[in-house]
């Protein structure tokens, strides 16, 4: 099982690196071509699009995945479940997109500020791009739960590469500005959707089943408010920044958030692989032992990556952006940590295994409310740093609560006590290297490198050298 996770998770991570990683390489282009205000508009539209698809999809992708991954479900029934979910979501996406573009002004006014108005044409382009991309993602979920790892990885990379090439063409050659981002997706996404359907042709039928929809929706329904709350917990900071500060500040914060996707890329890859494996193997007693070992790898590699990225936040911005964005360095370590804590959820599968999605929804809604309140006051008091800090606090509250509840349904011996020293050491190095060091650039750089080497050595001896020992 661990080998399957490393193999499939590695392939997904590689695919993510080749897709989202390539997008990250475009950050110098974004920061050179677009102002912080432009990037703020892009970020706000992105947040709105994510919220929109979260609601409209009814989270049927999660219900579909839960039933498709079950080994007891027959091949024909898997086709029925998947076909029902895909056709229903396609109809929902088309209907809502047509409704929104018929009455766009109210939403545009809500997303805009007195100083910056989002152009109507840009907004309409973004709606079609959002739903088309979401449909491609939905089909990708089915491919993942069928464990079509190679096909999914190749298709994801091809889609990303074509999208980037088209975007560069429309922005640089056609001089379409922000519109070029969305027009490229409108053109490329249908090609990706048709290609996905070709790969899935033997696993789909023209069918919408009442029973199948009822079962999927029963599982997914509680996840709709949960997903909205989760999304709010991770995006409300930018909406508050827009209202309490400016689009320019959203742009700076958005760049910091963009770099945090470096960690998200890796975590997403292994989460994508782990979910199907968990649903297929949770009844095996050995799987709980495997989860404990996986946690050791996660903390070792994750904390090392977090330390390295955090310590060199400013240097990263100096390489990829311009001085207009350097302020993002102070929030990057906080955002990195939020992503790491979020990733810990993959080691607490009890709530999903027991199909207690309603309980999970309540937990995430509670955390989102905490973030909603803290963001308002923290941004007023601490500006961008306060936005990142409030999100981190909410994420920590969410994970601790989620872990405690999940353990009641599927207990896994995740002994966190053995990692306390590493966590404290990591935290100390990050605080000193990111916020306290005030020497010249060269000396600061040397000290940071020493911190990384010392921590890497400590991780090796305290985790990886013991990973196969019986007492680990």
Count CB-CB contacts under 10 A for residue 143: 20
Where do the domains of the chain lie? 1-24+229-472, 60-220
Q: What's the pLDDT tens digit per position in 208-231? A: 999 999 988 988 887 788 778 877
pLDDT bin (cut points 50, 70, 90) of residue 472 is very low
Q: Which of 23-27, 58-62, 111-115, 194-198 has the lowest mean pLDDT?
A: 23-27
Q: Say what the pLDDT of residue 199 is.
A: 93
Q: Which of 107-121, 280-294, 386-400 has the lowest mean pLDDT?
A: 280-294
Average pLDDT over residues 179-194: 94
Q: Which residues of 305-335 are buried (b: 16+ CB within 10 A; e: fewer)?
A: ebbbbbbbbbebbeebbeebbebbbbbbbbb
State the alpha helices, DSSP H only, in 200-246: 210-220, 223-244
> Is 461 exposed, middle or buried, given 0-12, 13-18 or 19+ CB atoms closer than 10 A?
exposed
Smallest CA-to-CA distance from 255 within 170, 166, 318 is with 318
pLDDT at residue 174 above 50?
yes
pLDDT at residue 275 above 80?
no
The owner of tokens 């392939």 is: 11
Which two structure tokens, joined as six digits, stand for 38?
């432009």
- Between residues 317 and 258, the one the model is more confident about: 317
Mean pLDDT of all residues belonging to the chain: 85
- Between residues 447 and 177, the one the model is more confident about: 447
Q: Say what the pLDDT of residue 3 is.
A: 58
What one-character-per-residue DSSP string does 110-147 give? HHS-SS----HHHHHHHHHHHHHHHHHHHHHHHHHHTT
In angstroms, the CA 177 to CA 168 distance is 10
Average pLDDT over residues 304-323: 92
Q: Say what the pLDDT of residue 74 is.
A: 85
Average pLDDT over residues 111-127: 87
pLDDT bin (cut points 50, 70, 90) of residue 320 is confident
Q: What's the pLDDT tens digit per position in 351-371? A: 878 878 778 888 888 988 999
Which two structure tokens, joined as six digits, stand for 320?
């990829």
Q: Say what the pLDDT of residue 324 is.
A: 87
> Is 440 exposed, middle or buried, given 0-12, 13-18 or 19+ CB atoms closer than 10 A?
exposed
Average pLDDT over residues 188-201: 94
pLDDT at residue 455 above 90?
yes
pLDDT at residue 6 above 80?
no
Distance of CA 398 to the CA centre of its chain: 16
Q: Could you tell me what percent of the chain has a pLDDT over 70?
A: 91
């Amino acid at each position: 099982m661990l080998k399957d996770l490393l193999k499939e998770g590695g392939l997904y991570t590689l695919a993510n690196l080749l897709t989202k990683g390539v997008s990250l390489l475009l950050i110098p282009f974004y920061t050179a071509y677009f102002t912080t205000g432009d990037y703020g508009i892009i970020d706000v539209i992105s947040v709105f699009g994510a919220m929109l698809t979260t609601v409209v999809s009814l989270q049927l992708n999660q219900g579909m995945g839960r039933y498709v991954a079950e080994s007891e479900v027959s091949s024909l029934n898997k086709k029925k479940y998947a076909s029902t979910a895909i056709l229903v979501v396609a109809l929902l996406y088309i209907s809502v997109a047509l409704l929104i573009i018929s009455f766009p002004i109210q939403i545009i006014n809500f997303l805009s500020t007195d100083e910056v108005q989002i152009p109507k044409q840009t907004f309409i382009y973004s709606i079609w791009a959002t739903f088309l991309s979401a449909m491609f993602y939905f089909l990708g979920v089915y491919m993942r739960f069928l464990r079509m790892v190679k096909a999914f990885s190749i298709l994801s990379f091809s889609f990303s590469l074509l999208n980037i090439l088209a975007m560069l063409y429309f922005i640089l050659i056609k001089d379409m500005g922000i519109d070029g981002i969305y027009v490229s997706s409108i053109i490329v996404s249908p090609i990706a959707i048709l290609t996905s359907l070709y790969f899935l042709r033997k696993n789909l039928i023209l069918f919408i089943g009442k029973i199948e929809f009822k079962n999927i929706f029963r599982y997914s329904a509680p996840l709709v408010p949960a997903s909205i709350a989760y999304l709010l917990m991770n995006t409300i900071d930018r909406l508050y920044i827009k209202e309490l500060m400016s689009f320019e500040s959203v742009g700076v914060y958005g760049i910091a958030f963009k770099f945090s996707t470096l960690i998200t890329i890796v975590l997403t890859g292994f989460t994508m692989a782990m979910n199907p494996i968990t649903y297929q193997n949770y009844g095996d007693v050995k799987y709980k032992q495997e989860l404990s070992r996986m946690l050791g790898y996660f903390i070792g590699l994750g904390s090392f990556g977090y330390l390295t990225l955090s310590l060199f936040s400013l240097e990263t911005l100096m390489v990829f952006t311009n001085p207009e964005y350097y302020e993002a360095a102070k929030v990057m370590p906080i955002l990195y940590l939020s992503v790491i804590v979020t990733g810990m959820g993959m080691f607490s599968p009890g709530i999903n295994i027991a199909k207690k999605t309603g309980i999970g929804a309540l937990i995430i809604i509670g955390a989102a409310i905490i973030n909603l309140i803290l963001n308002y006051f923290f941004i007023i008091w601490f500006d961008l740093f306060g936005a990142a800090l409030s999100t981190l606090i909410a994420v920590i509250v969410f994970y601790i609560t989620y872990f405690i509840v999940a353990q009641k349904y599927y207990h896994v011996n995740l002994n966190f006590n053995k990692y306390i020293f590493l966590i404290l050491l990591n935290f100390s190095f990050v605080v000193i290297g990111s916020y306290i060091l005030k020497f010249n650039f060269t000396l600061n750089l040397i000290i940071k490198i020493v911190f990384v080497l010392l921590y890497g050595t400590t991780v090796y001896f305290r985790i990886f050298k013991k990973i196969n020992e019986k007492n680990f």
